[in-house]
Structure 1
Amino acid sequence: MQSNDARLLLSAVVPTLATGVLAVGVCAVAAGGAAVLGAVIGTALTVLIMGTGLVVLQQTAKKLPQLFQMTGLLLYTVQILLVAVFVIAFKDTTLFDTKAFAFTLLGATLVWIAAQTRGHMKEKILYVNPDSAQTKSAETAGSPT
């Protein structure tokens, strides 16, 4: 993973985890232990699903840049569907508070998307690879005929 990729991942993980800690605190005060467990699971699930998606997207950008946009759109669709599947699968569970789980999952997902968008906007991405331009000019500059 390149340093800019790690920076982008970190810029999304930190606010999401902060949101999760805030949700755990609110749940601990308002609803007790079951809600805390629901908030922890919701935060962990968000970081897992969205983090995996970001890593897959970065790998696709390196290996198959022509598929980057399509992969991004498909990936966001799959991520949102996975979140919906987990909310539906755990809607009747008694292991934890489902409302705390669902609200934390939703909040953490929205924070992740906003933080990732902000990270992309602030990142300085080169449109031209300067190394390839120098190599190409060096190859053509002194070539014998």
Structure 2
Amino acid sequence: MQSNDARTLLQCAVPTAVAGVVAVAAGFALAGGKGAIGAAVGTVVAGGVMALGLYVLQRTAKSFPHLFQAMGLVLYVTQFLISAVVLAVFRDTSLFNTRAFAFSLLAAVLVWTAAQTRAHLKAKILYVDPDAAEAGKSTPAGSTT
């Protein structure tokens, strides 16, 4: 993982964790212990899905840069579908409060997306690799020097 990838992950994970703490406190205040557990599980699921997506997107960008934009679209749709499946699976559970779970999952995904957008806008990523440009320059054909 490159340093800018790790920085992006950190800039996304920290605000999401803070939103998760707020969601757990709100879940506990509104629905008791089961609300806090539901909010914690929702935050962990959202953070895991989004972090995995960021990892896959960075690997794709490194390996197949020509597929980056298409992979981004596929990835966001896949993340949405995974979140929808998790919500459907835990719809009737009695392990935790499902409303706290759903709202914290939504909040964590929105915070992660906003933080990822901000991190991308603030990143100073070169469009051209200066080392590769220097390596591409060589002496002209037929030169005697």
**Alignment TM-score, normalising by the size of structure 2:** 0.95
- Report the AA paired with residue 53 of structure 1: G
Aligned to 1:37: 37
Deviation at 1:141, TM superposition (A): 6.4
In structure 2, stretches of 5+ residues that fail to align are none
- C-alpha change, 1:35 and 1:127, in structure 2 (3 Å) is same
The within-5 A match list for 1:58-137 is 58-137=58-137
Q: How many residues align?
A: 144
- C-alpha change, 1:93 and 1:143, in structure 2 (3 Å) is farther
Aligned to 2:139: 140
Separation in 2 of the partners of 1:131 and 1:106? 42
Deviation at 1:46, TM superposition (A): 0.7
Separation in 2 of the partners of 1:103 and 1:4? 30
Deviation at 1:135, TM superposition (A): 1.3
Separation in 2 of the partners of 1:38 and 1:57? 28
Separation in 2 of the partners of 1:109 and 1:90? 17
1:80-107 CA-to-partner distances (Å, cap 9, x unmatched) read 1110111111111101000000000000
- C-alpha change, 1:142 and 1:91, in structure 2 (3 Å) is same
Deviation at 1:61, TM superposition (A): 0.3
Per the alignment, in what secondary structure is the counterpart of residue 139 of structure 2? Answer: helix
In structure 1, stretches of 5+ residues that fail to align are none
RMSD across aligned positions (CA) = 1.4
The within-5 A match list for 1:40-59 is 40-59=40-59
Runs of 4+ in 1 over 3 A off after TM superposition: 141-145
Deviation at 1:144, TM superposition (A): 4.2
Percent identity over the alignment? 53
